[in-house]
Amino acid sequence: MMWYFSWLLGLPLAVAFAVLNAMWYELMDDQARHKSGDHPSPKGGNLPGTAVKVEVKSR
């Protein structure tokens, strides 16, 4: 009779766990890439949150 409470609590908890797990994976992957010096850039430009070094030459 009260099975819907387990679904009501269980599904959002499972979704939250999946989202946090994906965020943790991305964090660990970014740290591993930073340590190895491998900084790939997608075709569209730099990754969000990364700094771009700009050199200005004066005349």
Question: Tens place of pLDDT for every residue, the chain, 59 residues?
Answer: 688 889 999 999 999 999 999 999 999 998 988 888 776 555 555 556 666 666 777 76
Indicate the domain borders of the chain.
1-38
Given this model, what pLDDT does residue 43 score? 54
CA distance readout (Å), 57 to 36, 53, 54: 31, 13, 10
DSSP category for residue 56: -
Place of tokens 């491998």: 38
